[in-house]
Amino acid sequence: MFKYQIVIPSLILIVWLLLAILGPWLPLNPNYITLVDILKPPSLLEWLGYDDLGRPVLDRLIMGAGTSFFVAFWVISLSLTIGTLIGTISGWAGGYIDLIIVRIMDIFLAFPGILLAIALSGILGPGIENVVFALSIVGWVGFARLTRAQTLSIKNREHVLAAIALGASVPRILYYHILPLLMAPLLIEATFGIAGVVVAEAGLSFLGLGVQPPAASWGNMIKDGTGYMLIAPHLVLFPGLALFLVVLSVNMLGDKLRDRLDVKS
Amino acid sequence: MFSFFLSRLISVLVVILGVITVVFLLIHLVPGDPVQAMLGETATPTDLEALRETLGLNQPLMTQWWLYITGLLQGDLGQSLYSKEPIIDILMARFPATLELATAGLFVAILIALPLGSIAALRKDSIYDNSAMIFSLLGVSIPNFWLGPMLILLFSLILGWFPVSGQDGLLSLVLPAITLGTALSAILARMVRATLLEVLNEDYIRTARAKGLRESAIVIHHALRNASLPIMTVLGLQLGTLLGGAVITEIIFAWPGIGQLTIESIQRRDYPVVQACILLISLSYVLVNTFTDLVYGWLDPRVRYSV
């Protein structure tokens, strides 16, 4: 049977990945202004038309793919590393260390979703590095909470007790005996995390707090397009569609992965 | 019961204190000199010193923190650098709009999720179930800052049914509420389905069936009622997403609430107002969650004994 629920989203994500990585080497002119082409609708030759400044939407869309991929990659890598480290230490150490870390996590979880990221990137000023920083500050908590809970349940299993009895060092136990068992839930959390970060990056750029012009993000493309919706709906339609397809694909694969690895959400 | 309340109260107070501290520290993250950033390049040294004095930024960090907290306790959030008005007055003027939007978004979410999730659970693996789950997948994947403009394009610009933006009566609330509520409805529909499926396998449902109760009575009085508690908890937790989403929704629809105020204040470098907005939204979120928690503990003894 053709597993379209896996194949189609995988293809979409591969295209996203390839465009993001190969984008800088493709013959693109994302910032080249052609005044006569301002707001020109899509046609057979110019697939996605031109924006309000006369720049090719397709080229900017590919540049935006690079932005979202860059942010997603760094935010997930940073949050995953920091969160896993803090979470396993918290779960393993217990006692006061655990108590303090849990309280700190509670405080970070008390800020609604993207709000802290909005405040941080608003105060730090726009720019892609600040977006990565702001979203990582928000993102590590999810990983930390997950790994702490898992470590708590794993640390009393026989194989860990055996390792302790054999005199293995704590880093060794955490790395060889606990971390491998965290991989499945972490993989799923990271997958859904990608979807969240891609939307959050575009959201920040939509609010004018993300990457700055002339750099392209799907978020600021949507924002710029909203002023021309009646005469040039393609400006909002295409970046939104790209964003939607990537997020949808990540979510679909995440669902499949969760079923496959049989981890409770 | 008392010890349950007490332990919750203490942990909430710790969280609130932490949230206030993080918000307080935000202003120190401003790159370079925050006062210079707020007043711009043209400010004279006298102006800079005066603002530093007003904001207390020339004091040691701990003193500043203490002054911030005591000020908060007296309802004093300082002055807006932009309009010179007391911040508390600005917040009070803007908060009702956000509350209205969030409530409407929540209403839309429940209105969609409850029937959708119930039908999906009751007709598991049918075409209804599959459609509901596809809707749910699409709903969580569609960014609200794209859904909003698309709704405006279709329903305001092309069909002309609703106003494009602003807050002007019930009609102007419809599109923002849908924009805000869709993602939550998708998450909630899945939750309703999963919880209901679990509850429908319980013994008391079999008993109710054995008694010969009508299916509708079983679903409404026995299944949904028992499923409502876990659903409530998820709802409380997802309220954060709702409040965060409200910021973006307010920008799309020029809705005059706290979210719009936050972004305006960021653009004006009016950082004390930014801090106050973040604080207000976060504290409302914490309080609502604590309230759900306590109600849950009060309604379901299993919860409070496990603490």
Q: How far apart, in whole angstroms, are the C-alpha atoms of residue B253 and residue B167?
A: 8
Residue A141 near residue A105, CB atoms below 8 Å: yes
Residues with Cβ within 8 Å of residue A72, at least 6 apart in sequence: A194, A197, A198, A201
User: What is the model's pLDDT at position A229?
Assistant: 82
From the list B22, B27, B146, the residue facing A222 with the nearest CB is B146
Query: Is it the case that residue B306 has pLDDT exceeding 70?
Result: no
| Residue range B174-213, pLDDT digits in tens | 999 999 999 999 989 988 898 888 888 888 888 888 888 8
Sign of CA dihedral A258, A259, A260, A264: positive
In 3D, which of B73, B77, B106, B103 has the Cα closest to residue B89?
B77
Tell me the two tokens of residue A13.
């994500």
Q: What is the DSSP letter of A56?
A: B
In this prediction, residue A246 has a pLDDT band, given cuts at 50, 70 and 90, of very high
Q: How far apart, in whole angstroms, are the C-alpha atoms of residue A199 and residue A202?
A: 5
User: What is the model's pLDDT at position A2?
Assistant: 58
For residue A50, list its beta bridge partners.
A56
Q: How far apart, in whole angstroms, are the C-alpha atoms of residue A46 and residue A25?
A: 20
| Residue range B1-10, pLDDT digits in tens | 678 788 888 8
**Alpha-carbon Rg for chain A in angstroms:** 22
**Whether A112 and B285 lie within 8 Å, measured CB to CB:** yes
Domains of chain A: 2-261 (1.10.3720.10)
Residues of chain A contacting residue B142, judged by C-beta atoms under 8 Å apart:
244, 247
H or E element, residue A147: helix A128-154
Percentage of chain B surpassing pLDDT 70? 97
Residues of chain B contacting residue A199, judged by C-beta atoms under 8 Å apart:
143
CATH superfamily of B96-256: MetI-like (1.10.3720.10)
Residue A40 near residue A50, CB atoms below 8 Å: yes
The amino acid occupying position B283 is: L
Q: How far apart, in whole angstroms, are the C-alpha atoms of residue A215 and residue A63?
A: 8
In this prediction, residue B108 has a pLDDT band, given cuts at 50, 70 and 90, of very high
| Residue range A92-146, pLDDT digits in tens | 988 899 999 999 999 998 888 788 999 999 888 888 999 999 999 999 999 999 9
Interface test with A, best of B133, B146, B154, B241 (most A CBs within 10 A): B146
Interface test with A, best of B141, B270, B277 (most A CBs within 10 A): B141
From the list A115, A209, A252, the residue facing B281 with the nearest CB is A115
Reported as half-sphere exposure (CB side, CA atoms, 13 A), residue B126 has a value of 10
List B residues 13-52 in contact with A (Cβ-Cβ < 8 A). Answer: 14-16, 18-19, 21-23, 26-27, 29-31
In this prediction, residue B305 has a pLDDT band, given cuts at 50, 70 and 90, of low
Query: Is it the case that residue A264 has pLDDT exceeding 70?
Result: no
Q: How far apart, in whole angstroms, are the C-alpha atoms of residue A66 and residue A79?
A: 20
- A and B: number of Cβ contacts within 8 A: 142
From the list A110, A118, A125, the residue facing B262 with the nearest CB is A118
From the list B22, B23, B153, the residue facing A233 with the nearest CB is B153
How many other CB atoms sit within 10 Å of the CB of residue B293? 19
Q: How far, in Å, are A259, B24, B167 from residue A104 at the CA level?
A: 32, 15, 38
User: What is the model's pLDDT at position A265?
Assistant: 46
The residue ranges of every structural domain in chain B are: 2-73, 96-256
How many other CB atoms sit within 10 Å of the CB of residue B75? 8
Whether chain A has a CB inside 8 Å of the CB on B263: the answer is yes
User: What is the model's pLDDT at position B105?
Assistant: 93
Is there a cis peptide before residue A30, judged by omega within 30 degrees of 0? no
How many other CB atoms sit within 10 Å of the CB of residue A83? 26
What ipTM score was computed for the predicted complex, to two decimals?
A: 0.86
Residue A229 near residue B286, CB atoms below 8 Å: no
In this prediction, residue A249 has a pLDDT band, given cuts at 50, 70 and 90, of very high
